[in-house]
């Protein structure tokens, strides 16, 4: 099994366990991968941060519903979230945000929006672009 599929399989299994003992549609599973085009190995201190954000208000900062960080960043890097459905408000817009930092300095970030469709469980592929030179 591909190295990045193992964590996704674990997320899928745990999501199944969570939903098995809850009411139908009680949670939303959001999964995918973050990747970059550069063929480089990142230092082991590099940190990947992925967030599920409510981006409904144009003139306000995004509200973070869920987040995680990990080091040992490779490309592609899998992510997975299981979030209670009642955390999502009707009529709001949600997206995935990702960045890679090194010693607190931004290295890569997504430069386009990756919207979340609560009715679609297809994996989301998030491209992060190198910042600066």
43-78 pLDDT per residue, tens? 999 999 999 999 999 899 999 999 999 998 988 999
The two structure tokens encoding residue 88: 């999502």
Closest alpha carbon to 125 in 83, 56, 91, 78: 78
What pairing do the DSSP bridges indicate for beta strands 77-84 and 27-35? antiparallel
What is the pTM (predicted TM-score) of this model? 0.78
The two structure tokens encoding residue 7: 């964590």
- Could you give all domains of the chain from N- to C-terminal order, each with its CATH number? 27-120+124-128 (2.60.40.2990)
If DSSP codes are grouped into helix, strand and coil, which group holds residue 18? Answer: helix
What confidence score (pLDDT) does residue 72 get? 85
């Amino acid at each position: 099994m591909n190295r990045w599929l193992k964590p996704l399989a674990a997320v899928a299994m745990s999501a199944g366990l969570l939903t098995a003992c809850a009411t139908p549609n009680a949670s939303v599973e959001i999964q995918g991968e973050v990747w970059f085009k550069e063929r480089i190995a990142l230092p082991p201190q590099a940190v990947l941060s992925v967030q599920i954000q409510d981006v409904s208000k144009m003139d306000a900062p995004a509200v973070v519903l869920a987040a995680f960080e990990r080091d040992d960043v490779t490309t592609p890097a899998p992510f997975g979230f299981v979030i209670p459905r009642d955390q999502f408000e009707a009529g709001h817009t949600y997206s995935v945000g990702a960045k890679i930092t090194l010693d607190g300095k931004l290295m890569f970030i997504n430069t386009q929006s990756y919207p979340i469709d609560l009715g679609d469980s297809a994996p989301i592929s998030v491209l992060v672009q190198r910042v600066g030179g």
